[in-house]
Structure 1
Amino acid sequence: MSKQLDYVKVSCLSYLSRFERSSNRIRRFLRYWENLEVFLGPAENSLSEELIWEYDSEFSVTMGRAERHDLRRDLTIICFIAHHDLPPEGFHISICQAFWDLPIWCRKAIRDFQESCKHLMSLTTLSNYEVSLSCFFIRLDLETVKNTSQLTHKAIIRYSAADETPELSKRNRNSDVKSFLKYLEKLGLVKPTIHLVLEPSFQNEAILLDPIQYNAYPWKVLSVKRRTEPIAVYEQGVAKLEEYLTKCSYSQNHKKALIHGATEFELFLYCNDMGYSIGIADEWMESRRHFWSKSEYYSNLRAVHLIHELLMGKPISPFFPHVDRRKYHINENLEHHLLDYIEYRKHECLKPSSISMIHSSCCRFLGFVESLGIRDISELTPQIVKDFNLQDHHATIGGKQAYNARIRNFLFFLATKNLVPMSLHLALPAMAARKDRIITVLGLEQQTAIEAQFNNPRTKMEKRDNALVALGYDLGIRGIDIVALQFSHIDWDKEIIRFRQQKTGVWTTIPFTVNVGNALYAYITEARPESDSPYVFLSFKAPHGNMGSSVCRDSIGRIMKNAELAPCTGFHITRKTFASKLLMAGTPFSTISDLLGHSDNTTLKVYLASNEPEIRQCAMTLQGIEYQGGLL
């Protein structure tokens, strides 16, 4: 007998002496051992589990159930000690009868998995793996699954659906099975994401389309190979998405939610052997919409569209959702005239907001024209234009006038192209002359509230609010220019800010006060997110991009709310207050115009009414005007 067999025999007897008190049990073990030695023959120097499995297959066939149970119990102990040595005191080698009923390829797969993690797991955990995986293979349809490479998403879904064991037992077993499937994924023996079929948070998305569903519209049309990319392309997109989210410092929760949504779609593709396309993604999203909450739906929709943009090399849009939210959908026979006009107006270097206003106004008119069944622009008549004007209602006369002015210009453009009569635009009248109003400025209490927060900012949000409001309140800068401010615009040595105004395109240079400098410094050093962006003001939320001018309005709104004061009528009131304060201090008109970035002094007339001490001197006497009974 070889030293190895001698050592294993002695160790087995030592182990049995810990738990067995029956001499018959020891004698049965010795009898099985003698038979094993005879079976091994010349191969006794290389005792392996495969040989022990062959021994079991040859001798256990003719045994009764109880005797076969005893044999496999002893063989399990022999295999364990031959592989792991004598276990420590108190450790009991678990006997899994189901393991011995499995095909050889199943047993080998389990042993290879245990071998891969034996240095990381305890003996108890390794034994639990054997029990769990044996139950897993027993419940598989082994008539169709002949080796590990045939473990597919469909096979795991069917296994999960047929598993009727109690929930706790199922969860514990599936946890071990997932570890096994991850191991196979790592080796490339099964397809990626297969373990997610057993993940509770993904199980509802492990959907198999039945043949009727798959061959029905739209899946059959969308799944044509020439219209799809391999799933590997989508996997690259998921990796790019994770890299992008990390680079942009998204929070862990937000990052996790987006990756989860992207992986859910990947799981669906693998389950149904489908390629990837954005069309399939959109259809999948729509089919699952009613099973998700609103936040889950939009998170998953954003995830798959971000991946599409990354794969297409498109610039990532911060706006979401990626859906068409146009108020007006114009027939293409009419729309192409509008597109020509928009392109023409773009050559005038108009701001995007101006182009948007022109587009909205003209769409409003063309929408009415289309509702009359007109598809040819040459069919327009003065009566149609008048009818549009009569039914086109706006909240204010000024709003209606703004729309009509842009529609008249559009009609005149069409006339220059000989598409409509030259005088057609005259059918749309001007509604009213412009009215001059007394400007509104910040009251004393509101100014006090702003200055109080300047002296005591506590949070990062308050420090950003201080910097934003200080630029408008102390320097009179427009909100749209504040959010576009870049570090290159600030000269700390000369204490000036030089930038190009978004509204007029005129460059202006403004000296900043100590209060503004302190507010900017506090925000930049203590509250601004870490970013390489050239913009001074960034969003606190990833990806920390620059913001719209509405953040300025929100900032002054928070200050008023904290002071329990009425909200302001927009951020522009700070610019009006700045100009009014300069006027009341006797600052020359030319200086005020330079600081505000105005091209001439005439625009300052509206601020005269805010100088109450001076305006009182303009009051006219009532001398010579007779009145009686309280009436003039």
Structure 2
Amino acid sequence: MNQYNIIVQQLLAYLTKRKQCSSSRLSHKQCYEEFGQYLEENNLYLSQEVADQWIASIQGKYNWQKCYFWRQYISQLIVFQTTGSIPDALFYQIQSSYDKVPDSLKYYLNLYLENCRSRYTDRSFEIAKVHCSRIMYCLSEQGITEIQEIAFSAIDMLIHTDFHCSKDTREMYLLHARFMLEFFASLNIIPAELSVMLDDRIYFQIGRMELFSSEHQTLLEQFRNKSSLFSACEFHERISAFETVLRDLGYGTTQLKSSSHILKALYLFLYRYGLGYHPEIAGIWFEEIRRTLGNSWKNWRRILRLFKQYTEEGIVFKGTRYTYRIDILDTFPEWCRIPVKSFMDRLIREFRSHSTARNYKFSCLRFCRFLITNGINGFDKVTIAHIRLFNLTAEHATPYGRATSFAVIRQFLYYLEEQKLLQTGLHQALFSERARSAGITDILGGDQIQRIHEYRHAASTPMELRTAAIVTVGLELGLRASDVVRLKMKDIDWKNRRVSVIQYKTQNALSLPLTTAAGNAVYRYLVKGRPETASPYVFVHHHAPYDRMSTKICNNSLYCILPERYDVVNKGFHVLRRTFATTLLRNNAGIQMVMDSLGHTDNTSVMKYLSFDEERMRLCPLSLTQYSLLLEGGAV
């Protein structure tokens, strides 16, 4: 510290010699005393890095003007320690930024100020001149002598400069810098991309490749040497065409602006580092900048996937859903993977839903994992002993889960036998120890049905009209949720008052009379509630893309009218189908008519509804005498 104090005393004497005013010398002295105390307490030495740390630590204690001047005082001290003097540019703190700008840059500064003079009042123009001069001076300190020399590194410097001022004032500095660079870009002096990057709202979402992980940097360099799908400039040209496709699909203004922002950020990254567009490059870039996106990262990911689809297919499919996790099937060896995939494809061809095929997959992979664990490397090596061992050791949380899983695996084993991949008959060695479950059929009560019709009459908003129409169609026609969401305009014959569909679950044709209640509910929705869209489906999303909904919305529609159903076991939309069947039976419909109305080909699932036909059940009582049973009290 003695050496530090000696340098401080020498500098204060130097200031007196150069006739610095007393108030300035006092301010210098106060600055050096506090900085010296900081050095002593932290056992540090005089350096620019330590000085920056100290200034940062006192910014909450003093106003920004004082911090700004004290930063300059420390810079004077560091220079004086080395040279024994202070150059004029650093000595005269009150020199304006405009006067500090080198003549080679001042020419372009004056050119811009002259161009924008008419847009400002006198006071605003003076502020703009100060801000632009400060920007030019910062660029000159980075060794830039001509505007053409401005590069992305200069943008990095400006973005990370605090300008020793408040946050709002810093934003004004960057705003004027952006306007000035846009002017130079309009004269083709610099690329337009430089001015676009000079914005906090997008800069930190562009990313810097030199800060990426070494693995990702290596991959990007490899792509640089390979052929991309197209150049960064062509990528930029395709953005507007992509936005037109989204607009035609009904995407709103907010989503269109979001997609433009996302793709612009990717373009600036590609342009800066001389890369072309490739989906894998976009994927690497997204993984690196994801942490800067906050809760919006899912939207960024979706837009990138939609653009990938657009570049590969030329169109964007409405309602596209994406999965981003690695498929567990891909982690299994080929001898497992190919048969399981083939089995799933067969299920789809048999009109099983994709969700059903996916659930089957997990049961099949459970069996495959068991084989791998026990050293089996092919289905042709499976014996009955392996099947029995699996039967004894497979663990499940519930008997029902075990029985369901085993039923799926038996189907898979039988499929393998058909394909000559497994010894014939082995599927019979896997058995279930649980009988088929039976429970009390749940239907809606009369008061709940009445509440549905009351809701239908009172519905007025688009969402209410859709909710009323969906639930009324389920109650009056007995359609499954999977058929309600797939109901198309052409399926309704308004003249003959009939609805004809191909059932999604069974692929059987079904034709039903369109009841007055259902017809009115659907008509009111189509006229007063449904968004304008070219979608062929009756019920559509009320936000872009306006296309077919998921079956989950059917369940939510029911809960909206009957919220108590949410806490009921087997609480879903299917209760309306069960209520529909029971109502038919109570109205003296025959078993065959109920089967036809439900689209069933056998009466197994219909018979359970007979227990709700109380009036006709009373007509067929059993005699207690026939079974030698006595009533309480001994009477027969």
TM-score range, shorter chain: 0.7 to 0.9
Corresponding position of 1:265: 266
The aligned length equals 536
1 CA distance for matches of 2:478 and 2:361?
31
Kindly indicate whether the alpha-carbon contact (under 8 Å) linking 2:318 and 2:545 is maintained by their aligned counterparts in 1.
Answer: no
1:108-165 Cα shifts (integer Å, max 9, x gaps): 4345545655665556555544433222111104775454343222211113334532
Kindly indicate whether the alpha-carbon contact (under 8 Å) linking 1:497 and 1:510 is maintained by their aligned counterparts in 2.
Answer: yes
Paired residue type of 2:249: C
Corresponding position of 1:161: 160
Corresponding position of 1:218: 216
Kindly indicate whether the alpha-carbon contact (under 8 Å) linking 1:449 and 1:563 is maintained by their aligned counterparts in 2.
Answer: no
Within-5 A mapping of 1:264-413:
264-293=265-294, 295-313=295-313, 315-316=316-317, 318=319, 322-324=323-325, 326=327, 329-394=331-396, 397-413=399-415
Within-5 A mapping of 1:145-544:
145-167=144-166, 168-205=168-205, 207-210=207-210, 216-224=214-222, 225=224, 226-228=226-228, 229-293=230-294, 295-313=295-313, 315-316=316-317, 318=319, 322-324=323-325, 326=327, 329-394=331-396, 397-544=399-546
- Higher mean alpha-carbon deviation, 396-405 vs 451-460, is at 396-405
1:487-513 Cα shifts (integer Å, max 9, x gaps): 111122222212211122222222212
Unaligned runs of 5+ in 1: 1-64, 66-95
CA distance 1:349–1:319, shift in 2 (3 Å): closer
Paired residue type of 2:518: V
CA distance 1:137–1:412, shift in 2 (3 Å): same
Paired residue type of 1:308: K
Paired residue type of 1:529: P
Q: Residue 218 of structure 1: CA displacement? A: 2.3
Corresponding position of 1:625: 629
Corresponding position of 2:550: 548
1 CA distance for matches of 2:360 and 2:569?
31
1:307-363 Cα shifts (integer Å, max 9, x gaps): 222222264474556412545542223211222334455554544444334333322
- What is the DSSP-based 3-state SS (H/G/I as helix, E as strand, rest coil) of the residue aligned with 1:201? helix
CA distance 1:214–1:573, shift in 2 (3 Å): closer
2 CA distance for matches of 1:454 and 1:156?
60
- Higher mean alpha-carbon deviation, 462-471 vs 589-598, is at 589-598
- Higher mean alpha-carbon deviation, 367-376 vs 574-583, is at 367-376
CA RMSD of aligned residues (A): 3.5
2 CA distance for matches of 1:214 and 1:587?
71
Kindly indicate whether the alpha-carbon contact (under 8 Å) linking 2:109 and 2:136 is maintained by their aligned counterparts in 1.
Answer: no
Kindly indicate whether the alpha-carbon contact (under 8 Å) linking 1:237 and 1:307 is maintained by their aligned counterparts in 2.
Answer: no
| Identity among equivalent pairs (%) | 25
Paired residue type of 1:234: F
- What is the DSSP-based 3-state SS (H/G/I as helix, E as strand, rest coil) of the residue aligned with 1:529? coil
Paired residue type of 1:303: I
Paired residue type of 2:160: A
- Higher mean alpha-carbon deviation, 115-124 vs 280-289, is at 115-124
Paired residue type of 1:549: T
Kindly indicate whether the alpha-carbon contact (under 8 Å) linking 1:157 and 1:206 is maintained by their aligned counterparts in 2.
Answer: no
Paired residue type of 1:297: W
1 CA distance for matches of 2:178 and 2:478?
62
Q: Residue 471 of structure 1: CA displacement? A: 0.6
CA distance 1:420–1:582, shift in 2 (3 Å): closer
Q: Residue 291 of structure 1: CA displacement? A: 4.1
2 CA distance for matches of 1:467 and 1:611?
27
CA distance 1:317–1:425, shift in 2 (3 Å): farther
Paired residue type of 1:222: L
1:253-284 Cα shifts (integer Å, max 9, x gaps): 44444443333333444444444333333333
CA distance 1:166–1:420, shift in 2 (3 Å): same
Q: 2:618 aligns with which of 591, 616, 619?
A: 616
Corresponding position of 1:93: none
Q: Residue 177 of structure 1: CA displacement? A: 1.2
2 CA distance for matches of 1:473 and 1:424?
45
Kindly indicate whether the alpha-carbon contact (under 8 Å) linking 1:470 and 1:519 is maintained by their aligned counterparts in 2.
Answer: yes
Paired residue type of 1:360: F
CA distance 1:415–1:590, shift in 2 (3 Å): closer
TM-score, length of structure 2 as denominator length? 0.75
- What is the DSSP-based 3-state SS (H/G/I as helix, E as strand, rest coil) of the residue aligned with 2:501? strand
1:391-438 Cα shifts (integer Å, max 9, x gaps): 434455454333323322322332344433212212211344434544
CA distance 1:438–1:100, shift in 2 (3 Å): closer
2 CA distance for matches of 1:389 and 1:356?
22
Kindly indicate whether the alpha-carbon contact (under 8 Å) linking 2:565 and 2:571 is maintained by their aligned counterparts in 1.
Answer: no
2 CA distance for matches of 1:227 and 1:352?
36
Kindly indicate whether the alpha-carbon contact (under 8 Å) linking 2:109 and 2:132 is maintained by their aligned counterparts in 1.
Answer: yes
1:33-68 Cα shifts (integer Å, max 9, x gaps): xxxxxxxxxxxxxxxxxxxxxxxxxxxxxxxx9xxx
Corresponding position of 1:23: none
Kindly indicate whether the alpha-carbon contact (under 8 Å) linking 2:206 and 2:289 is maintained by their aligned counterparts in 1.
Answer: no
Paired residue type of 1:179: F
CA distance 1:197–1:480, shift in 2 (3 Å): same
Q: Residue 611 of structure 1: CA displacement? A: 0.8
Within-5 A mapping of 1:8-19:
none
Q: Residue 565 of structure 1: CA displacement? A: 9.0
1:498-536 Cα shifts (integer Å, max 9, x gaps): 221112222222221221122112211222122111111
- What is the DSSP-based 3-state SS (H/G/I as helix, E as strand, rest coil) of the residue aligned with 2:477? coil
Q: Residue 605 of structure 1: CA displacement? A: 1.6
Corresponding position of 1:560: 562
1:534-573 Cα shifts (integer Å, max 9, x gaps): 1111111211221122211111111112899968721111
1 CA distance for matches of 2:450 and 2:519?
19
CA distance 1:318–1:149, shift in 2 (3 Å): farther
Corresponding position of 1:138: 137
1:285-320 Cα shifts (integer Å, max 9, x gaps): 333344443x22222222322222222226447455
2 CA distance for matches of 1:173 and 1:478?
62
CA distance 1:113–1:375, shift in 2 (3 Å): farther
TM-score, length of structure 1 as denominator length? 0.75
CA distance 1:246–1:205, shift in 2 (3 Å): same
Paired residue type of 2:233: A
Kindly indicate whether the alpha-carbon contact (under 8 Å) linking 2:352 and 2:505 is maintained by their aligned counterparts in 1.
Answer: no
